[in-house]
């Protein structure tokens, strides 16, 4: 009986495993082989093994480390900002959302738009010559930074990313906050606990490590910098 | 409304209805197939524990991997399989993109169901596959719908693989939108660009607005544990 059930579980997993082996296993193997080979467009189908030379080229290239540093800073800055703003919104908007659940819809809107579209929209809005933001900054203050130049691109990109993905952090924090039972909230309020204490002190006590897995594990994956 | 009229006009070079149709087809394939693969696996992971230690972390961690690293081998594989510039090919890649979140949501939903449900069905003579099809799947419908909505929005918004794996017949909306930017020559047509971005962003935004209660409700339920 146990053996049959084990076979059943394995059969249920099989389609997914086969799909992953085909569409991810093969590319991983090819990638590894190519990374150790001399490959050009002429030799794409017959690469020649050459050792770790490609890795050495990448690791000694300043551009690689510059790009990695940019990504690391970008990941940390946006993840911290998204979590901080998402948590703040979840705590302070929770009572309002409980009364007017339709508020959730506009808050989640940025999540629904393609990042490529959002990027193009901001490119238009912040464009030095035709964008409305630089135009009004010139009108009101007589000057406007060039949002898209090399100096300011990091912060422009960070703000745009934060604006688009904060709703997801908000949703995760909101559901963690809402998972606290009403009786527990009322008891904590009588004891003088604020919303932050409710979220971080009482929630784990109610739900144990499970909440960490269900709520914060996906958060770590979506915001790898956290 | 001239810009919208221009966007909706079908020409030899630009066909917004074709792009919308391609996005719809690829997103439906990518979302449905991800659910078809993830639901049995989630059942096996949640109930049988098979795949909890290796398969589940491997798939969930796919979210942290930039899929661009598979670009070259996937391009070659798709060329070999005749899947380049097809809706099915794009749908298969979108399945990979959607699998992690679908699996997490479904494993959480099934873990929340009482084990007595399975046991009662088994006493009534149902085997593992019947339990999945006739008991678990209907009860998990809210989580399945949530996975579908998130998956559809993610798939609709995907840009990178759309750009890489399609050229004319299966170009999705996110890539097709960029064709309008210099459609008439003589620099970027900002009015036209804004109109096409609005049209392209409408379907996922409408879906999100209509289904926001389902998304937040189901995710909140997944985080609650008695």
ipTM of the complex as predicted: 0.85
A48 strand-pairing partners: A38
**CATH at residue A67:** 1.10.3720.10
Q: A-chain residues within 8 Å CB-CB of B194?
A: 121, 124
Position B37 scores a pLDDT of 95
Question: Given a cut of 80, is residue A56 above it in pLDDT?
Answer: yes
pLDDT band with cut points at 50, 70 and 90 for residue A220: very low
Span A84-97, mean pLDDT? 85
Whether residues A105 and A141 fall in one domain? yes
Q: How many cross-chain Cβ pairs, A to B, lie less than 8 Å apart?
A: 180
- Position with higher pLDDT, B148 vs A47: B148
Whether residues A100 and A34 fall in one domain? no
CB B175 within 8 A of CB A85: no
Whether residues A86 and A139 fall in one domain? yes
Whether residues A141 and A49 fall in one domain? no
Q: Which of B40, B54, B121, B194 to mutate to test the interface with A (most CBs of A within 10 A)?
A: B40
- Put simply, the answer to whether A20 touches B59 (Cβ < 8 Å) is yes
- Put simply, the answer to whether A117 touches B177 (Cβ < 8 Å) is yes
Lowest mean pLDDT among A68-72, A108-112, B162-166, B173-177: A108-112
Which segments of chain B have a pLDDT < 70? 182-188, 215-226
- Put simply, the answer to whether A44 touches B76 (Cβ < 8 Å) is yes
Name the CATH code of domain B2-223 (choices 1.20.1510.10, 1.10.3720.10, 1.10.10.1100, 1.20.1250.20): 1.10.3720.10
Averaged confidence pLDDT in chain A: 80
pLDDT band with cut points at 50, 70 and 90 for residue A203: low
- Put simply, the answer to whether B50 touches A9 (Cβ < 8 Å) is yes
Cα B141 from Cα B207, distance rounded (Å): 17
Cα B97 from Cα B147, distance rounded (Å): 12
Span A180-191, mean pLDDT? 76
Cα B19 from Cα B169, distance rounded (Å): 9
| Structural domain total, chain A | 2
Whether residues A84 and A189 fall in one domain? yes
Token pair, residue B41, equals 């696996």
Position B184 scores a pLDDT of 62
Handedness of CA B66, B69, B70, B71 (dihedral sign): positive
Q: Which chain B residue lies closest to A33 (C-alpha atoms)?
A: B73
Of the segments A37-46, A186-195, A214-223, B147-156, which one has the largest average pLDDT value? B147-156
Position A225 scores a pLDDT of 36
CB A8 within 8 A of CB B127: yes
Q: Which chain A residue lies closest to B108 (C-alpha atoms)?
A: A214
Domain that holds residue A14: 1-60
Question: Given a cut of 80, is residue A216 above it in pLDDT?
Answer: no
Distance from CA of B210 to the nearest CA of A (A): 8
Distance from CA of A81 to the nearest CA of B (A): 19
What is residue B150's three-state secondary structure? helix
Look up residue B140 and give its DSSP letter.
T
Distance from CA of B12 to the nearest CA of A (A): 24
Nearest to A117 by CA among B14, B66, B23: B23
Q: B-chain residues within 8 Å CB-CB of A176?
A: 223
Q: B-chain residues within 8 Å CB-CB of A111?
A: 153, 208
Token pair, residue A218, equals 């996906």
Q: Which of B161, B223, B225, B226 to mutate to test the interface with A (most CBs of A within 10 A)?
A: B223
Position A213 scores a pLDDT of 40
- Put simply, the answer to whether B220 touches A175 (Cβ < 8 Å) is yes
Alpha helices in B44-132 (DSSP H): 55-60, 71-81, 87-112, 115-123, 128-131
Distance from CA of A151 to the nearest CA of B (A): 24
Nearest to B43 among A12, A28, A174 (CB): A12
Q: Is B40 exposed, middle or buried (0-12, 13-18, 19+ CB in 10 A)?
A: buried
A126-173: per-residue pLDDT in tens? Answer: 888 878 888 999 899 988 888 888 888 899 999 999 988 888 888 888
- Put simply, the answer to whether A12 touches B128 (Cβ < 8 Å) is yes
Non-local (6+) Cβ contacts of B12 within 8 A are none
Nearest to B51 by CA among A211, A6, A28: A6
- Put simply, the answer to whether A112 touches B63 (Cβ < 8 Å) is no
Whether residues A44 and A88 fall in one domain? no
- Position with higher pLDDT, A74 vs A211: A74
- Put simply, the answer to whether A115 touches B73 (Cβ < 8 Å) is no
Q: B-chain residues within 8 Å CB-CB of A178?
A: 220, 223
B39-50: per-residue pLDDT in tens? Answer: 999 999 998 888
A49 strand-pairing partners: A37
Whether residues A54 and A119 fall in one domain? no
Question: Given a cut of 80, is residue A188 above it in pLDDT?
Answer: no
Position A224 scores a pLDDT of 38
Nearest to B56 by CA among B11, B119, B101: B101
Question: Given a cut of 60, is residue A205 above it in pLDDT?
Answer: no
Whether residues A202 and A97 fall in one domain? yes
Question: Given A40, A60, A80, which residue is the final one in a domain?
Answer: A60
Position B217 scores a pLDDT of 63
For the CA atoms of chain A, what is the radius of gyration?
25
Whether residues A1 and A71 fall in one domain? no
- Position with higher pLDDT, A76 vs A199: A76
């Amino acid at each position: 009986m146990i053996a049959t059930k084990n076979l059943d579980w394995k059969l249920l997993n099989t389609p997914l495993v086969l799909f992953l082996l085909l569409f991810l296993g093969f590319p991983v193997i090819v990638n590894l082989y190519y990374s150790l080979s001399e490959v050009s467009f002429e030799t794409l189908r017959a690469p020649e093994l050459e050792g770790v030379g490609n890795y050495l080229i990448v690791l000694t290239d300043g551009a690689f480390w510059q790009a990695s540093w940019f990504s690391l800073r970008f990941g940390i800055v946006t993840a911290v900002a998204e979590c901080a703003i998402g948590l703040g919104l979840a705590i302070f908007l929770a009572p309002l959302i409980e009364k007017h659940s339709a508020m959730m819809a506009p808050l989640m809107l940025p999540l629904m738009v393609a990042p490529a579209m959002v990027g193009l929209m901001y490119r238009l809005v912040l464009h030095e010559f035709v964008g409305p933001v630089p135009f009004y900054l010139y009108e009101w203050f007589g000057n406007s930074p060039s949002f898209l130049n090399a100096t300011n691109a990091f912060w422009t990109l960070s703000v745009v990313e934060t604006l688009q993905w904060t709703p997801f952090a908000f949703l995760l924090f909101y559901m963690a906050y809402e998972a606290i039972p009403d009786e527990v909230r009322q008891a904590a309020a009588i004891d003088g606990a604020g919303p932050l204490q409710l979220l971080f002190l009482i929630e784990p006590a109610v739900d144990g490590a499970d909440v960490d897995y269900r709520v914060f594990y996906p958060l770590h994956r979506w915001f790898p910098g956290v | 409304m001239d810009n919208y009229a221009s966007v909706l006009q079908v020409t030899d070079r630009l066909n917004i209805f074709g792009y919308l149709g391609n996005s719809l087809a690829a997103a439906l394939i990518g979302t449905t197939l991800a659910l078809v693969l993830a639901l049995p696996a989630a059942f096996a992971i949640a109930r049988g524990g098979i795949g909890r230690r290796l398969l589940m972390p491997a798939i969930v961690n796919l979210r942290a991997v930039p899929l661009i690293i598979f670009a070259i081998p996937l391009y070659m594989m798709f060329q070999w399989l005749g899947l380049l510039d097809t809706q099915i090919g794009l749908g298969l890649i979108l399945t990979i993109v959607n699998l992690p979140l679908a699996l997490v949501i479904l494993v959480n939903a099934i873990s929340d169901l009482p084990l007595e449900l399975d046991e009662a069905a088994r006493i009534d003579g149902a085997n593992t596959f019947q339990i999945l099809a006739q008991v678990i799947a209907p009860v998990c419908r809210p989580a399945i719908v949530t996975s579908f909505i998130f998956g559809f929005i993610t798939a609709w918004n995907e840009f990178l693989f759309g750009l890489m794996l399609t050229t004319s017949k299966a170009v999705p909306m996110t890539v097709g939108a960029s064709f309008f930017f210099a459609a008439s020559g003589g620099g970027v047509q900002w009015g036209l660009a804004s109109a096409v971005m609005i049209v392209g962003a409408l379907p996922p935004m409408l879906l999100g607005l209509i289904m926001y209660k389902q998304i937040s409700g189901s995710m909140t339920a997944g985080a609650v544990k008695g």
